[in-house]
Amino acid sequence: MHPMKHYAFPIIAAFATLAAGCGDEQVDAGNAQASDIKVVASQLDRRELVDEIQALGTAGANESIQIRPRIASIVTRIAFEEGQLVRQGDLLVELENSEIRAGLAVAEAALSESRSLYNRSVSLASTKAISESGLEQLQAAMQVNEAQVEAAKARLANTMIHAPFNGRIGLRRVSPGSFVDTSTVITTLDDTETIKLDFSIPEAFLAVVKEGMNIVAGSLVYPDQSFVGHVASIDTRLDPVARSVQVRATLPNPDGHLKPGMFLTVNLQRNRGPVLVAPEASIVPERGLQYVYRVVDGKAVQQEVTLGRRAPGLVEIVAGVSAGDLLITEGTHKVRDGMDVEVVEKLSPDDRSQLADGKL
């Protein structure tokens, strides 16, 4: 017998066993392809979608100025205390004015003399003792002296610095005897009974923010306190780069907690009304387009959609589907258009693991 004949039957048997094994695997694969893909789906419905933004604003005083003199002189009297509340018209600083007072006295004496001379001349005009032109010259001289008196009074008033509005005095920066001029800052005055809060909002929120609407602001300095105010004005122009608009709100500040320059946060909400909202997990981006898979008669149907604004975990669908459609939310990466699917309420941990491995 030829030596190869001893091995013929074992080789044939091995090929037969291998072929049988391959046949079993093909059957198992066919059964796997025939079984439906398990997915989780949710029904598309309408719900209230609220957009919320947090704006960062800077607090400012309702009125705020630096107190400076209008003339150069010596400080003779300081009539305020640092941190003092003052009323409009209160005297703050007096400057040296002896020379100006003397000039005022001279101007008043000249006015008195010219007025007396003019009045005597008026009584003589009826007797033709003085000409009409002479009387006019006396009247003009009197008017010049009146203007000089008013100018001297104005110079004297400039030596008295008064508070232009109600407010709180800041730190004093000069002392009695200091020489000051128009560039010298003597102190500051801030009206903080009302705080102005300036912040910017995106263009999309223009339809939400209206003059007079209430706002609530917060500060890291006072984490447990809210500051309620209202929108006072909205800028007429948008920032063409940031696509935002500046908004000014006013906040009552009777206790003085808020200081000019503080950062405050403002939370704004916009209710978009009932819109079609789907879970973000149901959206399948593909070649620059957005798709979802609807479940129709046990099959996955791919559908292009147009998306709107987003919220945490949700996205608005503007076009492409309708309320009541059943959208696949888990398993979208394993389904294809027209594929048979089985919708389950939720996947077990084992099913979820197998779905991720592509075995379901």
* pLDDT per position as a tens digit, 284-316: 888 888 888 888 888 888 878 888 777 777 787
Q: Which helix (H) or strand (E) holds 214?
A: strand 214-218
Residues 152, 76, 79, 259, CA torsion sign: positive
pTM tops 0.85, yes or no: no
Q: Is the pLDDT of residue 4 over 60?
A: no
User: Alpha carbon of 152 to those of 73, 146, 190, 201, 267: distances in Å?
Assistant: 16, 10, 31, 52, 56
**CA dist., res. 338 & res. 340, Å (int):** 7
Short-list 51, 57, 54, CA closest to 248 = 57
Tell me the mean pLDDT in the region 47-52. 70
**CA dist., res. 227 & res. 42, Å (int):** 42
pLDDT of residue 12: 41
Is-contact 294 40, C-beta < 8 A? no
Structural domains of the chain, with CATH: 35-49+274-357 (2.40.420.20), 97-158 (1.10.287.470)
**CA dist., res. 20 & res. 24, Å (int):** 6
Percentage of residues in the chain having pLDDT higher than 70: 82
More confident residue, 268 or 112: 112
Is-contact 321 294, C-beta < 8 A? yes
pLDDT of residue 35: 57
Residues 6+ apart with CB under 8 A from 69: 93, 95, 158, 161, 180, 181, 182, 184, 186
Helix (H, G, I), strand (E, B) or coil at 173: coil
Residues 6+ apart with CB under 8 A from 165: 63, 88, 189, 191
Percentage of residues in the chain having pLDDT higher than 90: 42
* pLDDT per position as a tens digit, 88-141: 999 999 999 999 999 999 999 999 999 998 888 887 766 677 777 878 888 899
Tell me the mean pLDDT in the region 268-280. 74
